[in-house]
A and B are shown apart, each in its own frame.
Chain A
């Protein structure tokens, strides 16, 4: 049979179905792209988060090291100040001891230890020593013992041994 028109190739999908399918494809593509974009962003956020955490850990280690250094400096400063105060106290101890010696009594030697003081000197009489020197020594030390030796001129050489009871106490402070 003869036809005036040529046979058209039949489309698999109709026009409106094609439009719907393209619409579906574009929508799904956009949805998935957006989801992927979010996931990539999340990945970078996780990376930055991990890097921040690592930096925080490094800083915390540095902070502990600095705190340790600070403590160390404070310790050195405290020790220095303690030593200087103790030096002053020793100086004052000796000053106070020499101020204790009354005029008639001559001091020949003294040995100052942490808990004791031994004094060697000359006194015109035992009474001068007992009246002028013994009371202040007795007020400072818990135990005071004096030995007298008579000299040819009638004066007395004496050795005074004074001790403190407590181990942590120091004389004249």
Chain B
């Protein structure tokens, strides 16, 4: 059996030599093609572009804010460090018996310094106790010593027991001091 052959031919309508129907079909196809490209290529690209652009600008803004926060914290920290440099340095220094005797010489006459024990204090500090045997001429010497201990290069606390005993013209004095220092670990973290 022979299949019937379908022959289709566009009708021709010419105006001033232009094939109106063919050009209309080309135009229609052009519109369809454009819509297709917009729908499947342009729209996703624009969407992607917009979302990445927004994300970028948001991250840029967040970065600027974080940078400002960092700068402000850094400034405050530097200021705080400068204001408390003396204290911070004092917490890093080791205790030296001879140096302490030299410092105390102006107020009390230290005869003996005996190290007692070393214990951790509040995780970040080490507390070392020393018993001090000294002589003073009047209690005022001891008051002056305690008043001026804040000017010493270490952090020293005068602590109990405190024993005053009169002996001829002098007063024998026995008391405890505690030296506070940053632990090596805390010192590392401070930098």
Contact = CB atoms under 8 A, between A and B. Distances in A.
B132 interface: no
Nearest to B48: A42
Nearest to B146: A91
Interface residues of B, number: 66
B113 interface: no
A95 B139 contact: yes
A59 B67 contact: yes
Interface stretch (A66-74, A130-138, A139-147): A66-74
A16 B155 contact: no
Contact of B150 (A48, A62, A87, A109): A87
B123 to A, nearest CB: 10
Interface in B127-166: 139, 142-143, 146-147, 149-150, 155-166
A105 interface: no
Contacts of B6: none
Interface residues of A, dominant DSSP: helix
Contacts of B63: 52, 55-56, 59
Interface string A32-68: 1011101101100110110011011001101100111
Given A32-B41, A49-B56, A77-B84, A63 B73 contact: yes
Interface in A67-94: 67-70, 72-77, 79-80, 83-84, 86-88, 90-91, 94
Contact of B142 (A34, A75, A94, A108): A94
Contact of B26 (A20, A35, A42, A108): A20
Contacts of B66: 55-56, 59-60, 63
Interface residues of A, number: 59
A52 B48 contact: no
Interface of B: 18-19, 22-23, 26, 30, 33-34, 37-38, 41-42, 45-46, 48-49, 52-53, 55-56, 59-60, 62-63, 66-67, 69-70, 73-74, 76-77, 80-81, 84, 87-88, 90-91, 122, 124-125, 139, 142-143, 146-147, 149-150, 155-166, 180, 182, 186, 189-190
